[in-house]
Chain A
């Protein structure tokens, strides 16, 4: 089982609580690991006989993490508890904050200023010159208030503040409106204002040199991990090229209507050998034939497949 930020949550589901009216004791036990925001029994949730299921919402994800680790498979009033995360109880806002917190955590621990684009800019690249017409009411002020969010990150690779000197014409215009919005919602008005002043006097620097400059500082890093180019990888790359165009390129034409999530194309494998290629082509064509003949059914149920693309029960952790 792989733990990602999506699986974790401030919400914990506790199963196997003996139905002895021990809610208070249960909550007290969990409260040892951190402040609890809410808790209640989940009467509708399937439970084994004589047991109850509870939902406990911690104020902080880290506390939930520790509590889960310690309390899972622990005996409680003679019954074995099973504790798992319950991200499905999150609201959109809570999910958003969870993702943002992870961002902040990484930025902090890696001492980097992470650049992320939050939608505060109206019409990002093309209408760069228009300073944000609408200020999007950002509900999460937390998203731009972190003390380690440094606007200079747009021009730096490792977020070192000396990179403010970068010519960042386009970039600065792009980011300028963001700072305005940021200034409204964050306390770091002074910092932002002064930094935008620094960054602003960039000319009309076209984006290309900027990209090039961006890659320069991390060159030594790239050298160290030059991708292996095995044959398998080469084939995969070619495959990916094909997929890329199929997914992104041709959609613009709209000749083919994409209704469901795009199914991956049958990869065109180049076997580097004529006879093998011929065989591969024959097989591929055959597959295509077969696929076409049954294509009506799978193609026509895109809605159902996309509405619930995920029929498998998730294993709860």
Chain B
């Protein structure tokens, strides 16, 4: 059965690489991302370089592909080996870029992934000032899911000093549209 699973995953990866159809790509990527939820599959996914596939797809134009790719990363990044691999492959930057997406799911997956990727070594990146600033804004979002996630990020993964710094930055730069002076 294990052999069957590996072959199936291999087929998915191949399909993703050869197909031209965006719909097919999305379908396949969704499948892979869902497989990434189950730790049983991690060894296979690593073997098939699916982590690279997810990371590469983060910079695609297709929003749906990005959403699924970051979702996949979110699902598998807690595993130590996967985490180290993603960090080594400079995966933090593209993930941070996902914070700017207009797709809510992408943003939320990115927030969670950053949380999960935070280690003593990586925290300088994952909790860099622009990121903290971003989280501050997200924590005020009307979307409860997003504001919850951002709040957990700020409370659990940032020091009060970092939050303060980011807050001061916003204050000095007049967040919001300054009213025209008469």
Contact = CB atoms under 8 A, between A and B. Distances in A.
Interface in B34-77: 34, 37, 39-40, 42, 46-47, 49, 51-52, 56, 59, 67-68, 71-72, 74-75
Contacts of B78: 102-103, 106-107, 114
Contacts of A5: 74-75, 112
A92 interface: yes
Contacts, number: 225
Interface string A102-122: 110011011011111111011
A129 to B, nearest CB: 15
A225 interface: yes
Interface in A243-264: 243-244, 247-248, 251-252, 254, 257-264
Nearest to A267: B59
A2 interface: yes
Nearest to B67: A2
A228 interface: yes
Interface in B12-48: 30, 33-34, 37, 39-40, 42, 46-47
A154 interface: yes
A247 B130 contact: yes
B175 A119 contact: no
Contacts of A118: 156-157
Interface in A1-37: 1-7
A262 B130 contact: yes
Interface residues of B, number: 83
A113 to B, nearest CB: 8
Contacts of B93: 240, 243-244, 247-248
A99 interface: yes
B108 to A, nearest CB: 5
B100 A227 contact: no
Given A221-B46, A308-B143, A2 B51 contact: no
A75 interface: no
Interface string A291-309: 0000000001111001111
B181 to A, nearest CB: 15
B177 interface: yes
A177 interface: no
A303 B72 contact: no
Given A211-B121, A218-B84, A248-B128, A261 B33 contact: no
Given A2-B67, A258-B133, A306-B137, A159 B102 contact: no
A270 B34 CA distance: 34
Contacts of B89: 227
A300 to B, nearest CB: 6
A257 B173 contact: yes
B9 interface: no
Contact of B137 (A218, A224, A232, A307): A307
Given A99-B152, A116-B118, A243 B46 contact: no
B88 A95 contact: no
B4 interface: no
A162 interface: no
A80 B151 CA distance: 37
B153 to A, nearest CB: 10
Given A6-B74, A95-B148, A158-B80, A115 B119 contact: yes
B79 A110 contact: yes
A117 B115 CA distance: 9
Contacts of B5: none
B148 to A, nearest CB: 4
A88 interface: yes
Contacts of A260: 137
B127 to A, nearest CB: 9
Q: Which of A232, A233, A302, A309 has the most CB of B within 10 A?
A: A309
A115 B74 CA distance: 16
A88 B71 contact: no
A56 interface: no
Nearest to B119: A115
B134 interface: yes
A96 B111 CA distance: 13
Interface string B90-101: 100110110111
A174 interface: yes
5 contacts: A2-B67, A236-B59, A248-B125, A251-B130, A310-B141
Closest 4 CB pairs of A and B: A310-B104, A2-B71, A106-B78, A261-B100
